[in-house]
Structure 1
């Protein structure tokens, strides 16, 4: 089922399909629910799979100049109430992982567990915030296609780019159709997000890290530091993936998430 609903006056697009233990897939920056198409088509064979276009991207609307991670988590909570899901597993890719952590902090009772897929609990560094400001400037100069053509290949491991050339082109198209206001709202929201390390250290919820060993955004050093810092976490290391493990190593990622969901 595909549907539009209004969340505080903002249109939200979501997809609800399959049967079994509910899993909610949250996309990353510049992406939409479409990024999960192939992954969801397999996961829905064993689970109920819900995915949405987070406000500001895809077919969903924009609400203001900054979409905080808490606001996005509230949108996810609204959808869960609407479709009658009491508890679920949240799987957040990149920015979707930031939303997952905000949701887990606000609505822990609604989760069985959660997965940070190429994502971390760390806030933006000063350097990263400066980079986001530069990206906002490019967006305001109507250079969204340039951003898309730069970011899409970077999301894949260098030695996977030829093999996934079609997927990269699909990402470029997906990224480039986002509205200027939505991109800016999400960049502003990521800039001001909380440091979630204290929360992650204290939560009783089971959680899982999935890291790509060829990720251009999360270094091996950072991944190893987080794995050591949170020994309670389940961990999947994708040896041949960049930042898109659910595409680059879809089978092993799918099996790990199915096992984690239980």
Structure 2
């Protein structure tokens, strides 16, 4: 790795559940060349298919630290996490706060699962075990988009389904259990010594807008973007606005 590249301010992108690093390709294409962009496949996802004994958010965070070390990303980085990637980012911030220059949570939350949501994850695990990943993804992806986008964006929807269908069943069930077991991490936001951005969609069925509004007020230095036309996939549904907010945060934390 050339020293000049390794020394660039780094933005780390963490994908969501049943996704892969590929979801960030188009989103990050317009980013300025002055940033170093990193996007790992989280444990069990994409091409990162070695056996995974632990799908907890803490284990994923430890893997992210190892990944950063492998990439010679020595200084604090701006971490951008979508959905489950945000849960991993919060675990990373809790355990390794000095690794973060800033934190952007896209359609994610520092709250733990409610009892109802944990029960729904168990139902999803049972469905995958009975019917397989393919059937699960056919019903899982569509509601993640805002109602107006479900038929307007068939290519994006089909693409996410295909990424999900390529994800091993052990990863799907393990990640569901890992998300269900994660603790509340609102203290990470309240005690953050770095700027925080929350991006939320009005029609997000997974992370309710009112919860995002409440959390946006927790961090000492906080910014928020509330999107009228998005569900749970803001980086696909309203990429221009989401990208602009992330780049504004990058300019703040890196002085660009």
TM-score, normalised to structure 1's length? Answer: 0.88
Deviation at 1:173, TM superposition (A): 0.6
Q: CA deviation at 1:63?
A: 4.1
Matches within 5 A, 1:1-262: 20-43=8-31, 45-64=33-52, 66-86=54-74, 87-230=76-219, 232-262=221-251
Q: How far does the alpha carbon of each residue in 1:222-243 deviate from its partner, in whole angstroms, 9 at most, with x for none?
A: 2222234456421111121111
CA contact under 8 A between 1:66 and 1:186: conserved in structure 2? no
For the Cα contact (< 8 Å) 2:132–2:169, is it kept in 1? no
Q: Which residue of 2 aligns with 1:4?
A: none
Counterpart position of 2:254: none
Measured after TM superposition, the shift of residue 92 of structure 1 is: 0.4
Structure 1 CA distance for aligned equivalents of residues 125 and 42 of structure 2: 19
Cα distance in 2 for partners of 1:225, 1:252 equals 21
Contact 1:18 1:49 (C-alpha < 8 Å) held by counterparts: no
**Distance in 1 separating the partners of 2:150 and 2:34:** 30
| Matched-pair contact (CA < 8 Å) for 2:203–2:230 | yes
Structure 2's unaligned 5+ residue stretches are 252-256
CA change 1:66–1:229 in 2 (3 A) is same
Q: Residue 19 of structure 1 contacts residue 47 of structure 1 at CA under 8 Å; is this kept in 2?
A: no
> What is the alpha-carbon distance in structure 2 between the residues aligned to residue 81 and residue 19 of structure 1?
13
Name the structure 2 match of 1:5. none
Q: How many pairs does the alignment contain?
A: 247
Q: Give secondary structure in 2 for the equivalent of 1:204.
A: coil
Distance 2:132 2:109 in 1: 28
Shift of 1:198: 2.1
Q: Give SS of 1:214's match.
A: coil
Q: How large is the RMSD of aligned CA atoms in angstroms?
A: 2.0
Task: Provide structure 1 residue ranges, at least 5 long, that are not aligned to the other structure.
Answer: 2-16
Segment drifting more, 169-178 vs 191-200: 191-200
Q: How far apart in 2 are the matches of 1:209 and 1:246?
A: 13
